[in-house]
Amino acid sequence: MAELKIYRMNPLVPMLSYGTEEAACFDLSACLADRASVKGFDPKNESVAFICLKDEDGTFAIKLPPRYRVLIPTGMIFNIDFKHHVKIWARSGLAIKKGLSMANGVGIVDSDYVEEVFIPMINNSDEELIIKHGDRVAQGELIFNWNQAEFIYIQDRPAQKGNRAGGFGSTGVS
Q: Is the pTM of this model over 0.75?
A: yes
Q: Are 68 and 41 in contact (CB under 8 A)?
A: yes
Q: Give 118-172 pLDDT, tens digit per residue.
A: 999 999 999 999 999 999 999 999 998 777 788 888 898 888 877 766 666 555 5
Find the DSSP H helices in the chain.
92-98
What letter represents residue 75's amino acid?
G
Which listed CATH number (3.40.50.1820, 3.40.1160.10, 2.70.40.10, 3.40.50.920) goes with 5-144?
2.70.40.10
Q: Are 76 and 8 in contact (CB under 8 A)?
A: yes
